[in-house]
Structure 1
Amino acid sequence: MPKTRAAVPEGRRPTLADVARRAGVSTALVSIVMRGAKGAGAATRERVMEAAREIGYRPDARARLLRSHRSHLLGVQFGLQQPFHADLLESVYAVAEPAGYQIAVSAVTASRDERRAVEALLADRCEALILLGPQAATARLAELAAQLPVVSVARRLRPAVPGVEVVRTADDEGARQAVDHLVALGHRAIVHIDGGRAPGAADRRRGYRAAMKRHGLSEHVDIRPGGLTEAEGATAARAITASRPRPTAVLAFNDRCATGVLDVFLRDRVAVPGDISLVGFDNSRLAGLAHIDLTTVGQDIPTLARLAVGRAIARLEDGGEPPAGERVVAPRLVVRGSTAPPR
C-alpha cells in the first residue's frame, strides 16, 4: 500500500523529525541531507528526499538563517509603480538564488518613502542593499554604506559616494540613439519630455541636447516638463497637442510617461505615428503590448541585475572597499510601430 501524508497530523507543519520517522533514519541524518552536507550516501539522500515529498516537508529557510551567523539575504528597494523595477527584480532573483543568496524586497510607494523601505530591509538582517533607482540624498547613501555594502542601480552619483557602487545604463547614449533614429526618419522638430529630478533624467537631457546639436538641430531643442508617470506624460502631451506648430516627434522620459502621452494623443485624435512619432525609454513589458507597440530605448536588464548582484556578493565574500568607477551598460534601441517618417 502506498504511503500517504497521514503520518503528520492535519494542520501541523511537517518537521525534520517527521521526515526521519518516515524515512527510518535519524533526525541528524535528515538535517545533513537537507543542508546538502557530507555524510549521507546517494541512496539515503534519495530515501530522505522521497519521504520529505510524501509528507510535504519544506525547509524553513528563515529559521535556518536565524540560526547562522550570516543571513545570506540581499535587500532590494524598488518602486512599486515602476514596471522597469519589476522587470529588474525578476532578473535579480534569477541571479541571486543560484549563488546561494535569498532576496528580501521592500517597496517604495506614494505613502511609504525610501527611508522606511530601507529600514525594513535592515530589520530583516539583510547583508547588502541593492537600491533600484534611489532618490535619497548622497549623505543618506553614505550613511548606509558605512553600515553594509550598497549598490545603486540606474542612478549616476556625482560626486561619487564612498562605499556605494553604481550599476547603470548609459542613459545619455540611449537618448542619442532615439534622436538619431528619429532624424534618420526625417524628423527635425523633436520634443523631449523631461524626467525632472528622477534618476537618469539629467543624462537623458544631456544626450538629447548633444544629439540634436550634432545633427544641426540646436534651434529645434525643446525640453518640456514631465516625469516618471502616465499622469505627468499626459500633462505634457496636452500642452503639445495645444501648441502650434506641433512637433513631429516626441522622446518621453520613460515608457510610463510615453503611455500617458499616447493616451492623450489618441483621445485628441492625434495619430501615432501618422501625426507624431513617439519614443519611450526602458523597454518595459508595457512597451511590447500589441495595443501600445512602442519604439523605446531598451535597458539590458539581465546584465544590470547580474552586475548589481555580483558586486553585492563580491563585497560580502571578499570584503574590503569597492573598486573605483561605475559599471555602465550600453542601451539598445528597440524599433516598433510608434515611429515613422513625418508626413
Structure 2
Amino acid sequence: MIEAGDALARLVRAEGTRVLATLVRVTGDIDLAQDAAQDAAVRALETWPRDGVPDNPRAWLLVTAKRRAIDVIRRETRRAGKETEAVMFTEPGHEPAETVDDDLLRLVFTCCHPALSVEAQVALALRTLGGLSTAEVARGLMVSEATMAKRLTRAKQKTLLLLQDARRDARVDDEGRVLLLKDQDRGRWDASAIKEGIELVGRALRRTPDRPDPYVVQAAIAACHALAPTYADTNWDAVLSWYDVLLRVQDGPVVRLNRAAAVAERDGLEAGMALVEAIEGLDAYPWWHATRGELLCRMGRPAAARAAYERALALGMSAPQAEHMRRRITGLS
C-alpha cells in the first residue's frame, strides 16, 4: 500500500472512467455501470485516506464496482422470482490493461455512435467520459436539467438499437429504393453489430427481468429477425411473445399494429387483418393504411389494396417511402 496524497480525488476520477468503460461492457447497461462505478468511487474516498491507496487502484475500484453491480442484479432477479444465474458475470478478477484500454475505446465509440445526434453525442460523452453530473452538463450546454436528463436517456436508449442499425445497408437497393424486411439481402447485414446488439439485449433483459425497458423489448424483437437466416425462417412465436411483453410495458395502437402484422405471418392473413381492423385511433397514421394495403394485396383484393395505399400516400411520408408506396400501387395494375 502507498500513502494517500492530495491527488486522491483526481486518481479516483481518472481510474473511475476506465472502470466505468469495463462495467458498460460486462453489464450492457450504462445506468447500472454508472451507479456501480460511483458507489466504488465513494467507497474509495472513504477508505483510502484511512487505509492507504491500494497498489492497483484500478483493480480495487473494478472489483468493488462489479460486486456492487452483482448485488443489484441479484436483488432484482430475486424480486422477479428468477434464479441468480441471471447474473452475467462471475466474481470479478483482474482485467488485463489491454482489455481496459479496449473498453475505454469502445465506450468512446458508443458515445459517438452515428445513430446519435451531435448534441446527444456531446452530452453523453461529457456525462459518461467526463464524469460530469447531469446538472453540470446542462449548464455547460445551456439547457435545463430536465431537458438534459431526457436527452441523456434517449441517447442511452439508442445505444441499444444496434440491431436496427445493423440492417441499414440492406434497407434500400442499389437505386436507393426502400426494401421491406422480407426482400432484404441478409448478407449485407452487419454481423458484428448484430452480435453486439444481441449481447447487449440479453444483458439488459437480465438486468430488469420483471419489467424490461420498452426499448429493450423492441430490440429483442429486432433480434428475433436478425437471428433468422431467411425471412421464412423467422421465429414468429418468439416475435409475438415479445410483442405481448411490449404490450404489457408500453401498450399502444402502433404496437398493436406491429403485432397484428406478425400475427398475419404466423396465423394467416385473415387473422392479421381482423386485428388490424380492430385497432382504433390510427386513421391518420399512414402505416395503418399501408399495412392494410399490404394484407389486402396478398389476400387478392387489389382494388381495396389500392385505396389503402393511396390513403397512406395522402397522409404523407418520406420520399423513399412514398416511392415504395407508388411502386406497390403500380404493381397492382
**Normalising by the residue count of structure 1, what TM-score does the alignment of the two structures yield?**
0.27
Bigger radius of gyration, 1 or 2?
1
More helix, by proportion: 2
Hey, which of these two has a bigger chunk of strand by percent? 1
Taking structure 2 as the reference length, the TM-score comes to 0.27
With a CA cutoff of 8 Å and minimum separation of 6, indicate the structure with the bigger relative contact order.
1
